Amino acid sequence: MHVKVRPAGAPPDEWQMRDASDADLVEAAQRDPAAFIGLYDRYFPVIYGYVRLRTVDEATCEDVTSQVFTTALARIHTLRAGGNIRSWLLTVAHNAIHDLYRRREGSHGWEETVTVLADPSPSPEEQTLAKERAMELRAVLMTLGPDQQHLLALRYGAGLSFGEIAHLVGKNPIAIRVNVHRILTGLRRRYRS
128 to 187, contacts with other proteins by CB under 8 A?
133-134, 137-138, 141, 147-148, 152-153, 156-157, 159, 161-164, 166-175, 177-179, 181-185, 187
Q: Which residue, among 185, 191, 183, has the nearest Cα to 134 in the 3D structure?
A: 191
Residues 9-38 that bind other proteins (CB under 8 A): 12, 30-34, 36-37
69 binds other proteins (CB under 8 A): yes
Size of the site for other proteins (CB under 8 A): 78
Beta carbons of 155 and 165 less than 8 angstroms apart: yes
42 binds other proteins (CB under 8 A): no
Q: Which is nearer to other proteins, 119 or 145 (CB)?
A: 145
What values do phi and psi take at 124, rounded to 5?
-60, -40
Compute the distance between CA of residue 48 and CA of residue 27 in angstroms, rounded to an integer: 23
Q: Which is nearer to other proteins, 114 or 174 (CB)?
A: 174
The end-to-end CA distance of the chain, in Å, is 53
Residues 75-104 that bind other proteins (CB under 8 A): 75, 77-78, 80-84, 87, 91, 95-96, 98-99
Compute the distance between CA of residue 146 and CA of residue 152 in angstroms, rounded to an integer: 10
